[in-house]
Amino acid sequence: MCGIFGYVNFLVDKSRGEIIDTLIDGLQRLEYRGYDSSGIAIDGDKKGETLIVKCPGKVKALKEEIERLGVERSTIFDSHAGIAHTRWATHGQPMVSNCHPHRSDPDAEFVVVHNGIITNYRELKTLLLSKGHIFESETDTECIAKLFKHIYDTNLKAGFELDFNELIKQVLYELEGSYGLLVKSKHYPGEVVGTRKGSPLLVGVKTDKKLKVDFVDVEFTDQQDFSTSFNQDLMGHDNLRTSQSRAFLADDGLPMPAEFFLSSDPASVIQHTKKVLFLEDDDIAHIYDGELHIHRAKKNAGDSTIRQIQTLEMELNEIMKGPYKHFMQKEIFEQPESTFNTMRGRIDFENFNINLGGLKSFINSIKRSRRIIMIACGTSYHSCLATRSIIEELCELPVVVELASDFLDRKSPVFRDDTCIFVSQSGETADSMLALQYCLDRGALTVGIVNSVGSSMSRQTHCGVHINAGPEIGVASTKAYTSQYIALVMVALSLSNDSISKQQRHREIINGLKKIPEQIKQVLNLEDKIKQLCNDHLNDQKSLLLLGRGYQHATALEGALKIKEISYMHSEGVLAGELKHGVLALVDGQLPIIAFATRDSLFPKVLNAINQVVSRDGRPIVICNEGDDVLSNNEALATLHVPNTVDCLQGLLNVIPVQLISYWLAVNRGIDVDFPRNLAKSVTVE
């Protein structure tokens, strides 16, 4: 995930070397979030010169690049503003031109680091190109830097020399999407403006003397007469500034030496200062002359007029995981957001349209293929199983699902008119990559469903869809599963977009998808009940069965995999229809069984299987829809209710309780959930 860091020193002597080290250190504290490239922007030797160094790879590589370039380290700056970034590619591959900071022009009059997505960047880019701006990257961010220059120049031509915060307000007016943003400019030396919308940003403050105030006033534009502030002739630069809050003045009224640390994550600020101010959406932080000002364009009723400077008492480790004990737990709880991000900008919920940019020009070729082969490993394989049936139903093509290793072992025949869909979180799994090469060699069309932008799989497939779930750090895959699932459903929908006979079904599924993030939130509320269930009935068990059929077979397999890989408890996912063909022999009054009995056309058959279990003294844990009580309290060990959705999406909700069960079983057994024994996050060996 992208990370932002900025450092401003005012009346505190720092050598360029120290400034670089502070920026690099700040970036290193963001590394845990996952990224693929990094960069910094600082002042150069000549007046108004900005030095940008950036490169793909680790922050360590950036440090080496700075050394390689022989950047001079001894010049002392008593006031200086530097910005830095770690990038997790969304627009364009990880390569130097796409790394942040991005510049407005070869002179780097404005440099920008950005987290988030500018959704109208294409329109902005078209406009800026028509005004003669030359773009150097494939990113959405670059249009922000160009926009700064464009608006600055336009104002200048009209005789207005804007304050930095006035300028950013005009820029923000043009931007759509989400952002955390820092901007530095040669026209405003020693200053930084930063803002956020849907992406976090905070400011840490460090002063020698104790701060006299623990808040900063919010300055609202609509309370001031900005018609005059645009015009320097009528209202001077200084005039405007002195009228605002002076939070960091010493007792004698003189500016006091201060350092400011701006970041998307308190983890990179805490070693410098514990005094931090968290910006709210649409706040603009403007730092200059040792002062921090917070501006907002508009005051709505109820808006707070101050921002508190808080004292962070958290340890670094706590910050990285937020309120969660483990990354896995954090990632489970991120699913309302990550599933939303998978759909963002791709589903038009009003007009029931799907637009997968990465597949657009390949849709007809895929539709013309003789069959679809889905190939993956582990959890990613389960997301293929979970969606196979809806792909078959909507696309009316035969679909086979293959484990990459077995597919290769069998040297399964592949033809030029096959479409092979590869699903992988990391995009680097060796078995899946070998299978990809095998299919490429045979001339098949290859499609990737991948989380890591710029990964080998994302690069080597003909086309594909990034699931945009954000980096997954816990070894056990959770949020990638739900996002892969949604991405595959979206593929099925876009392959059948123009089928009149499928229209009703399309609408039903799209309406269902819209509600999924909110419904996942509801299921996450089961955590306390699940914790209790694990404590009361499951902690000391040796084995566990999960029963499901139809859409829920994949959920049963995925639940069993989660449970074994992190709690080390033997568990097996069983197709409920197969129970009577052997597995029933295991059932007795002791063996814990989780049965998925949510409503779909197979519901009566699942009830049958559950009854077979109950009549052999089994007491299953039933996962069913709200309002359904499949078994009485005596018959069931527990009932977990989940909201109802369209049959082909129900697995997205049903998998959440089993993710939580596996997590709590592992925690209760004292296992390091994020790093289970013998397993690695990315399996790059055969």
User: Which residues are tagged catalytic?
Assistant: 2
> Residues binding ligand F6R: what is the number (CB under 6 A)?
15
List of E strands, 576-653: 593-597, 621-625, 638-642
Beta pairing class for 621-625 and 638-642: parallel
Q: Which of 141, 339, 429, 567 binds ligand F6R (CB under 6 A)?
A: 429
CA dist 412 → 293, 403, 404 (Å): 65, 11, 10
Residue type (1 letter), 652: L
Could you tell me the smallest distance in angstroms from the CB atom of residue 409 to ligand F6R? 17
Among ligand UD1, ligand F6R, none, the one that 263 touches (CB under a kind-dependent 5 to 8 A) is none
DSSP 411-448: T----TTEEEEEEESSS--HHHHHHHHHHHHTT-EEEE
8-state DSSP, 67: H
Residue type (1 letter), 599: R
Q: Which of 380, 598, 654, 662 binds ligand F6R (CB under 6 A)?
A: 380
Q: In terms of CB distance, is 319 or 430 closer to ligand F6R?
A: 430
Q: In terms of CB distance, is 476 or 609 closer to ligand F6R?
A: 476
Residues near ligand UD1 (CB under 6 A) are 90-92, 117, 345, 356-358, 448, 450, 453, 457-458, 461, 463-466
Q: What is the C-alpha to C-alpha distance for residues 351 and 510, in angstroms, rounded to an integer?
A: 10
Q: What is the C-alpha to C-alpha distance for residues 684 and 686, in angstroms, rounded to an integer?
A: 7
Residue with the CB atom nearest ligand F6R in the bound state: 378
Among ligand F6R, ligand UD1, none, the one that 91 touches (CB under a kind-dependent 5 to 8 A) is ligand UD1
Could you tell me the smallest distance in angstroms from the CB atom of residue 494 to ligand UD1? 11
Q: Which of 59, 193, 279, 377 binds ligand F6R (CB under 6 A)?
A: 377
Among ligand F6R, ligand UD1, none, the one that 26 touches (CB under a kind-dependent 5 to 8 A) is none
Whether 592 and 537 have beta carbons less than 8 Å apart is answered as: yes
Among ligand UD1, ligand F6R, none, the one that 432 touches (CB under a kind-dependent 5 to 8 A) is ligand F6R
| Residue 432 interacting with ligand F6R (CB under 6 A) | yes
User: Quick one: which H or E segment has residue 226?
Assistant: helix 226-229
Q: Which of 379, 483, 571, 639 binds ligand F6R (CB under 6 A)?
A: 379
Q: What is the C-alpha to C-alpha distance for residues 43 and 599, in angstroms, rounded to an integer?
A: 63
Among ligand UD1, ligand F6R, none, the one that 565 touches (CB under a kind-dependent 5 to 8 A) is ligand F6R
Q: In terms of CB distance, is 448 or 512 closer to ligand UD1?
A: 448
Q: Phi and psi of 54, rounded to 5°? A: -155, 155
Q: In terms of CB distance, is 232 or 682 closer to ligand F6R?
A: 682
Among ligand F6R, ligand UD1, none, the one that 358 touches (CB under a kind-dependent 5 to 8 A) is ligand UD1
Whether 144 and 118 have beta carbons less than 8 Å apart is answered as: yes
Among ligand F6R, ligand UD1, none, the one that 117 touches (CB under a kind-dependent 5 to 8 A) is ligand UD1
Q: What is the C-alpha to C-alpha distance for residues 598 and 686, in angstroms, rounded to an integer?
A: 37
Estimate to the nearest angstrom the gap between the alpha carbon of 666 and the chain centroid: 25
| Residue 567 interacting with ligand F6R (CB under 6 A) | no
Q: What is the C-alpha to C-alpha distance for residues 171 and 141, in angstroms, rounded to an integer?
A: 13
Q: Which of 145, 193, 385, 476 binds ligand F6R (CB under 6 A)?
A: 476
Could you tell me the smallest distance in angstroms from the CB atom of residue 409 to ligand UD1? 24
Could you tell me the smallest distance in angstroms from the CB atom of residue 390 to ligand UD1? 20
Q: In terms of CB distance, is 543 or 682 closer to ligand F6R?
A: 682
Q: What is the C-alpha to C-alpha distance for residues 153 and 160, in angstroms, rounded to an integer?
A: 9
For ligand F6R, the binding residues in 48-77 under the rule CB under 6 A are: none
List of E strands, 233-351: 258-263, 275-278, 284-288, 291-296, 306-308, 310-311, 347-348
For residue 102 the two structure tokens come to: 């991005």
Q: In terms of CB distance, is 490 or 557 closer to ligand UD1?
A: 490
Whether 143 and 110 have beta carbons less than 8 Å apart is answered as: no
Could you tell me the smallest distance in angstroms from the CB atom of residue 565 to ligand F6R? 6
Q: In terms of CB distance, is 118 or 561 closer to ligand F6R?
A: 561
Query: 513, 521, 550: which is closest to 649 by C-alpha?
Result: 513
Interface stretch with ligand F6R, choices 113-121, 226-234, 423-431, 507-515 (CB under 6 A): 423-431
Rg of the chain over all Cα atoms, to the nearest angstrom: 28
Interface stretch with ligand F6R, choices 198-206, 377-385, 492-500, 504-512 (CB under 6 A): 377-385
| Residue 425 interacting with ligand F6R (CB under 6 A) | yes
Q: What is the C-alpha to C-alpha distance for residues 373 and 420, in angstroms, rounded to an integer?
A: 5
Q: What is the C-alpha to C-alpha distance for residues 342 and 524, in angstroms, rounded to an integer?
A: 19
CA dist 285 → 164, 203, 473 (Å): 10, 8, 31
Whether 246 and 291 have beta carbons less than 8 Å apart is answered as: yes
Among ligand F6R, ligand UD1, none, the one that 377 touches (CB under a kind-dependent 5 to 8 A) is ligand F6R
Interface stretch with ligand F6R, choices 346-354, 371-379, 521-529, 664-672 (CB under 6 A): 371-379
DSSP 197-239: EBS--EEEEEESSPPS-SEEEEEEGGGS-HHHHT-TTTS-HHH
Could you tell me the smallest distance in angstroms from the CB atom of residue 327 to ligand F6R? 13
Could you tell me the smallest distance in angstroms from the CB atom of residue 583 to ligand UD1? 37
| Residue 477 interacting with ligand F6R (CB under 6 A) | yes
Could you tell me the smallest distance in angstroms from the CB atom of residue 481 to ligand F6R? 8
Whether 464 and 366 have beta carbons less than 8 Å apart is answered as: no
Q: What is the C-alpha to C-alpha distance for residues 627 and 629, in angstroms, rounded to an integer?
A: 6
| Residue 565 interacting with ligand F6R (CB under 6 A) | yes
Binding site for ligand F6R (CB under 6 A): 377-380, 424-426, 429, 432, 476-477, 561, 565, 682-683
